Structure 1
């Protein structure tokens, strides 16, 4: 099954966005590993999820062109 250039671009951009989210979640986990997640770490996780939602919405708008 051959993928055209547009499909490859969509896959690449989506994989990079999800990879950024995973790296962000891992980074938050590393920063708050010793002291426990606590309220600050919880807010950081919620912020990361909200950021991921906005980034994926922006990626969707970008790829729809």
Structure 2
């Protein structure tokens, strides 16, 4: 089964986006430690909101 170039691009962009989201979560955890507190919790919520917006934007850009 061959994967065409457009599908390959979508897969790579999705994997990179999820990897960046994971790295952001790890960075927040490293910055605020195991007890996130109020500021760390807000940072996590902001990261989730940013991820949703970025994935929506990527979806709009990559649509056929």
TM-score by length of 1: 0.94
Cα displacement (A) at 1:11 = 0.2
Q: Structure 2, unaligned stretches of length 5 or more?
A: none
Structure with larger RCO (C-alpha < 8 A, sep 6+): 1
In 2, Cα distance between the equivalents of 1:13 and 1:64?
Answer: 12
The CA RMSD measured in Å over matched residues stands at 1.0
Question: What is the total number of aligned residue pairs between the two structures?
Answer: 64
| Structure 1: 4+ residue segments shifted above 4 A | none
Partner of 2:42: 43
The answer as to 2:32 corresponding to 1:32 is yes
TM-score by length of 2: 0.95
